[in-house]
Amino acid sequence: MSADVHTSADYIKHHLQNLTYGKLPAGYERADGQTLQADTWTIAHSSQEAKDMGFWAVNVDTLGFSIVLGALFLFFFAKAARTATAGIPAGLQNFVEWIVEFVDSSVRGSFSGRNPLIAPLALTIFIWIFLMNLMDLVPIDWLPGLASALGVPYLKIVPTTDPNATFGMAIAVFFLVLYYSIKMKGVGGFVGELTLQPFGKWGMPANLLLEGVNLIAKPVSLALRLFGNMYAGEMIFILIAIMFAGGAVLFLTGGVLQWAWAVFHILIITLQAFIFMTLTIVYMDMAHQEHH
């Protein structure tokens, strides 16, 4: 794959490294021995360079694949809407209607309020995360190998194995929860919910601690659950891929294991998208409920 990959450990590190773009300071000595004469925005050529780029560095592969998959989702669903007919649905329209009905039933079962945003939000979350997870079924050396041949040092094709992506989505949901909590209950009601429950006014410090932790745990649990499951799945695919270089027996064993894990992983990628969607609906439902 790359000139820098010589051992199994190098292979694993290479596949877990994002294509990162950021700024390196003047005087920085790069991995190839070059010393920068001025502050330079560039692609990181090692994990240390990516780390030294700091907070404002961007994982180009995560951002790129997320945008492309989101655009594909919008394109196919818009196409299905434009070509929809009143008769018996078939093909793309049948698939889209089935997905919409599935998400709609999930919303009706978990959301007790009235908000026209919830169903589209749930649909977007489910399909977008599913598509990002689905990239995990693409053989791990295909796209990174093509990128390496074109001179691109790293390429991670599964956005949900990057905590920046999962936390970004979770924080967006968290802001919506805060917005609707304040909108539906008012600032006083929201503050009262944090300070007066469950022990009443005499237990304000304990109430604030418990409710504060519960509130912050929502985006953290959303992000880490999705990231952890997808990262572990990607790691297993990488470990299986290493077996292909171990001789005929390990090659055949690796082929069987890869097929079996891919079949099982279809359930995982779907389940993780469903869990993220369902928890989002539940959290939004909690934000719409008023406590007296």
Could you tell me the pLDDT band of residue 59, with boundaries at 50, 70 and 90? Answer: very high
Structural domain contains residue 2: no
Burial class (CB in 10 A: 0-12, 13-18, 19+), 259: exposed
Look at residue 30 and tell me if it is in a domain: no
* pLDDT of 292 strictly over 70: no
CA 21 to chain centre: 19
10 occurs within a structural domain? no
220 has pLDDT over 50: yes
Residue 238 lies in a domain: yes
By CB atoms closer than 10 A (0-12, 13-18, 19+), residue 219 is buried
- Residues contacting residue 266 through CB under 8 Å, at least 6 positions apart: 137
Distance from C-alpha of 41 to C-alpha of 60, rounded to nearest angstrom = 13
User: Of 20, 75, 71, 80, which Cα lies nearest the Cα of 46?
Assistant: 20
pLDDT higher than 90, residue 3: no
Mean pLDDT of the chain: 92
pLDDT-based confidence at 86, cuts 50/70/90? Answer: confident
Q: What is the pLDDT of residue 56?
A: 93
Whole-angstrom distance, CA of residue 182 vs CA of residue 173: 14
Q: Hey, which residues are catalytic here?
A: 221, 225, 229
Its pTM stands at 0.93
Helix, strand, or coil (residue 281): helix
* pLDDT confidence of residue 80: 92
Rg (alpha carbons) of the chain, rounded to whole number: 23
Instruction: Show the tokens assigned to 157.
Output: 């094709």
* Residue predicted with more confidence, 285 or 5: 285
8 domain-assigned = no
Q: Which pLDDT tens digit goes with each residue over 245-290?
A: 888 899 999 999 999 999 999 999 999 999 999 999 999 999 998 7
Res 246: pLDDT: 82
Which stretches does DSSP call E strand in the chain?
A: 20-24, 40-43, 58-59
Average pLDDT over residues 6-12: 86
**The pLDDT of residue 2 is above 90:** no
Residue 134 lies in a domain: yes
Among 9-13, 55-59, 263-267, which is the least confidently predicted range? 9-13
pLDDT at 1 over 50: no
Q: How many domains does the chain have?
A: 1
Are the beta carbons of 43 and 20 closer than 8 angstroms?
A: yes
What is the domain extent for residue 261? Answer: 61-288
Q: Would you state the pLDDT for residue 70?
A: 97
Would residue 129 count as lying in a domain? yes
Cross-strand pairs, 21 = 43, 58
- Model confidence at 202, pLDDT cuts 50, 70, 90, reads confident
The answer to whether position 32 is within a domain reads: no
The answer to whether 185 and 193 have CB atoms below 8 angstroms apart is: yes
> Which residues are paired to 24 by β-bridges?
40
Strand partners, 59: 20
pLDDT computed for residue 58 by the predictor: 97
In the predicted model, is pLDDT for residue 63 greater than 80? yes
